[in-house]
Structure formats: structure tokens, C-alpha cells
Amino acid sequence: MFGRLNHVAIAVPDLDAAIARYRLLGAEVSAPQRLPEHGVTVVFVQAENTKIELLYPLGENSPIAAFLDRNLGGGTHHLCFEVPDIFVVRDDLVKKGVRILGDGEPKIGAHGNPVLFLHPKDMGGVLYELEQVSPA
């Protein structure tokens, strides 16, 4: 069920400054991608073994805006792990008492794949994103 780490997401109060920091380090940085259905703009920083997702709020009602209100300098927002079948994993976790955020139905994420978020209170205070990916 539990697959490889897809990315670590970091909420940033200044997207341009964050992009500049990673480019200063010589990292490959994607173009910003607006995801209105999630209320964010995302940028991916490619590392050798995973990605870092920079999250910047799209509007005042963005969940990332609320996160940044509590964490003015930004910070780690979530960890994303790959799963082969998001519906099977979701149903198994719900049976085990783990709450799914939102309406419980997957949404399409930044990579064009279905994603779900697990309630951090059920996961030791950590927000987990699960992303369904096709086998390589």
C-alpha cells in the first residue's frame, strides 16, 4: 500500500524568493502552475531522489494562506506518498479509522493524478497526501 516518497511540500510566503534560493543551489525548478481547485500555485524543485513542491496561496481563502497566517516564514506542509490504487487505500484506511480530508473523494493534483489528504490528527500531526501513480 505505502509507496515511494513523491515529494515534500513546503508552503512559502514569497514564491519568487523561494525559486531564487533553489536556483542559487543549482536545482532544476519548474514553471509555476496555478491550481485553482486546490487554491494554490505550485512549483516543483527536482532533487535526485524526489521532488520538493513549493506551495503559494491563490487568494485569501487558500488553505495555504491559512497555514502561512500561522507560520509566517512558511514551512513544511505535507509529505506525499505514491499508492497504486487510491480507492483501495482510501477504503482500507477509513476502515482503520483514518479520516480523509474534504469530501473523501480524490481530486486531480498537480501531476494530473488522483490525490487524497489524510487528517493530520490521525497521522501523528503530519499531513499526508496520497497520490495514485501508474506502475513504472
Annotated catalytic sites, by residue? 129
How far apart are the C-alpha atoms of 53 and 48, rounded to whole Å?
14
Three-state DSSP string of 44-69 = EEECCCCEEEEEEECCCCCHHHHHHH
Of the candidates 133, 129, 136, the one whose C-alpha atom is nearest the C-alpha of residue 42 is 129
How far apart are the C-alpha atoms of 34 and 12, rounded to whole Å?
15
DSSP-derived secondary structure letter, 71: S
Residue with cell 512558511: 74
How many other C-beta atoms are found inside a 10 Å radius of the C-beta of residue 47? 13
Of the candidates 131, 81, 135, 80, the one whose C-alpha atom is nearest the C-alpha of residue 108 is 131
